[in-house]
């Protein structure tokens, strides 16, 4: 159990680094005058995570999880220190990307260790504890980020994870057994490179309106061509590779393919929305960073209940499809509620909507990974876990670029007398504005954010459709993945 505690600390540290930025981000943007790159502070971290997750997962299958975790934690800690030393928006984005290269390995390897230790039904219960770490990080992170950025400055938020990461690193070195799977180490470098090119290209395409000024420029068209070429080459490489990063045989399972869609949407409507919910609470509704952080406790309280309930249901029944269907429905309802919430509306209604959003996220948190792990043999658990976490983080990164484009386009049409640039305002500056000007600023941000929430609600509907088409399966109790028997109902 001590090893499980260290694994949970690894996950918490990696998750905290993303959550703690949310409430501090408006202050960071104001410091560097970089609203047009608002989404990239988060998406750079997530993009780097998504790019390396399948690689870490596969290497863990080949050489064991311990060495991978040690390497990933070391990269993560260097990235955290680099973020604290950033001197511009560009350098911060680069440092966040480097930090994400380590964070991706931490998450996928930690979930891989859990899968190595526990059987599917038992795994659901213990992975619900890992979901509680997301709750803890999402509760502590935004609140701590708001307090630290207001008192010690935004650089302090990146230094908080250093002692936690060092403790986790020491624990992994001392306590996690070194296990070699006994397979020849053959790294699929070509598959990893072409997959990374395709992922990065997709995110750049989503952000091409801001980067190139339009989706119809020759640069955007060139990116589409690059993505298509990279995917074609990737498929050809994976067909021939003895140890492919993501074995193409996994896609023969209908559930595996549909779970990728569900995982991508899950990332888009939870992680992808995190920074924008903080922006909404502070700039559209006028809450101070510390008060906005308290609303994240409401969200994560709902997530805690949803995650624990999902773990108990899966452990008791072996079923996960009903949880994904219900989660998609509730997510769509909550996001539509945020889109329609009026500025100055009742605080208790806002809290209730955010609570439902958190609960729905908890229901869908762990099922895609557990479902995918159950579809594969033990030798491909890392690859399957990497694919699902890639879909989740990649979906979040892609969505953040889309959301950022929607919000930036909306703010470009807003003009407030007495304010030179509405997108350059800090939440700490709102109380000093004339009440009429402040009301106009809040209304402008609300109008810019409303289409974004409706877009996210549409994604939730897509997840609902994908979940409906999942084959209904029941996890057999006390049966290892390599011995599994999927029983249609």
CATH of residue 302's domain is: 1.20.1250.20
Identify whether residues 308 and 367 lie together within a single domain.
yes
Beta bridge partners of 473: 488
487 beta partners: 474
Same domain, 165 and 229: no
Tokens of 217: 């420029």
Residues in the chain: 489
Please state the pTM of the whole predicted model: 0.73
pLDDT (tens digit, 0 to 9) for every residue of the chain, 489 residues total?
Answer: 677 777 778 888 887 777 777 667 766 766 666 555 556 776 678 778 777 777 777 777 777 778 888 888 899 999 888 888 887 777 888 888 888 888 888 877 877 777 666 665 566 566 666 666 665 666 677 677 777 777 777 788 888 888 888 888 888 888 776 766 555 556 677 887 888 888 778 767 766 666 666 666 777 788 888 889 998 998 898 888 777 778 888 888 889 999 999 999 998 998 788 778 888 888 888 887 778 778 877 887 888 788 888 878 887 888 889 999 999 999 999 999 999 998 888 989 999 999 999 999 888 887 888 888 787 776 677 778 778 877 887 788 788 878 888 888 888 787 777 776 676 666 667 777 788 888 888 888 888 899 999 999 999 999 999 999 998 888 766 544 444 433 333
399 and 256, same structural domain? yes
Q: Are residues 306 and 171 in the same domain?
A: yes
User: Which residue range(s) make up the domain with 427?
Assistant: 2-188+241-488
Same domain, residue pair 183 and 194: no
Report long-range pairs for 379-382 (Cβ below 8 Å, ≥24 apart): 379/61, 379/181, 379/183, 379/482, 380/61, 380/247, 380/250, 381/61, 381/112, 381/115, 381/116, 381/481, 382/56, 382/57, 382/58, 382/59, 382/60, 382/61, 382/65, 382/108, 382/109, 382/112
Residues 311, 208, single domain; the answer is no
Q: Is 176 exposed, middle or buried (0-12, 13-18, 19+ CB in 10 A)?
A: buried
Are the beta carbons of 417 and 444 closer than 8 angstroms? no
Pair (236, 101) in one structural domain: no
Say if residue 346 is in the same domain as residue 470: yes
Residue tagged 């010690």 (tokens)? 152
| Count of C-beta atoms within a 10 Å radius of residue 380 | 24
SS3 category, 367: helix
Residue 473 is given by DSSP the state: E
Q: How far is residue 284's CA from residue 282's CA, in Å, rounded to a whole number?
A: 6
> Is 229 in the same domain as 184?
no
Count of C-beta atoms within a 10 Å radius of residue 213 = 11
Q: For the chain, how many structural domains are there in total?
A: 2
**Cα–Cα nearest to 26, from 447, 445, 457, 361:** 445
């Amino acid at each position: 159990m001590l090893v499980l505690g260290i694994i949970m600390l690894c996950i918490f540290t990696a998750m905290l680094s993303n959550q703690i930025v949310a409430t501090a981000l408006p202050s960071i943007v104001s410091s560097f005058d970089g609203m047009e790159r608002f989404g990239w502070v988060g998406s750079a971290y997530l993009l780097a995570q998504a790019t390396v997750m399948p690689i870490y997962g596969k290497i863990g299958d080949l050489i064991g999880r311990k060495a991978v975790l040690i390497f990933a934690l070391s990269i993560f800690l260097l990235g955290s220190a680099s973020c604290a030393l950033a001197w511009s928006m560009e350098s911060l984005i680069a440092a966040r990307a480097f930090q994400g290269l380590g964070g991706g390995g931490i998450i996928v390897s930690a979930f891989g260790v859990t899968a190595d230790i526990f059987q599917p039904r038992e795994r659901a219960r213990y992975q619900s504890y890992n979901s509680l770490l997301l709750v803890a990080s999402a509760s502590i992170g935004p609140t701590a980020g708001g307090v630290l950025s207001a008192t010690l400055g935004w650089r302090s938020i990146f230094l908080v994870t250093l002692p936690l990461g060092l403790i986790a690193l020491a624990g992994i070195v001392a306590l996690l057994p070194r296990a070699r799977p006994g397979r020849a180490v053959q790294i699929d470098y070509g598959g990893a490179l072409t997959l990374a090119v395709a992922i990065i290209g997709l995110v750049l395409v989503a952000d091409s309106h801001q980067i190139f000024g339009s989706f119809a420029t020759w640069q955007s068209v060139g990116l589409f061509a690059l993505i298509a070429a990279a995917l074609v080459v990737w498929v050809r490489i994976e067909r021939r590779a003895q140890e492919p990063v993501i074995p193409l045989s996994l896609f023969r399972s209908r559930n595996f393919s549909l779970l990728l869609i569900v995982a991508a949407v899950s990332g888009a409507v939870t992680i992808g929305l995190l920074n924008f919910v903080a922006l909404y609470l502070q700039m559209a509704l006028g809450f101070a960073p510390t008060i906005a952080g308290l609303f994240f406790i409401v969200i994560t309280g709902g997530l805690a209940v949803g995650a624990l309930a999902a773990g108990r249901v899966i452990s008791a029944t072996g079923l996960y499809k009903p949880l994904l269907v219900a989660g998609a429905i509730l997510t769509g309802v909550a996001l539509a509620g945020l889109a329609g919430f009026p500025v100055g509306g009742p605080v208790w209604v806002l809290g209730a909507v955010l609570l439902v959003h958190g609960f729905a996220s908890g229901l869908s948190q762990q099922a895609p990974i557990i479902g995918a792990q159950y579809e594969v043999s033990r030798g491909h658990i890392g690859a399957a876990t990497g694919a699902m976490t890639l879909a989740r983080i990649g979906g979040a990164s892609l969505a953040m670029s889309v959301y950022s484009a929607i919000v930036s386009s909306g703010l470009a049409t807003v003009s407030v007398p007495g304010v030179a640039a509405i997108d350059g305002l800090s939440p700490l500056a709102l109380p000093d504005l004339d009440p009429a000007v402040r009301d106009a600023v809040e209304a402008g941000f609300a109008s810019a954010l409303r289409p974004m929430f409706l877009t996210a609600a549409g994604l939730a509907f897509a997840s609902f459709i994908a979940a409906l088409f999942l084959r209904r399966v029941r996890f057999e109790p006390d049966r290892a993945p390599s011995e599994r028997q999927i029983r249609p109902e």
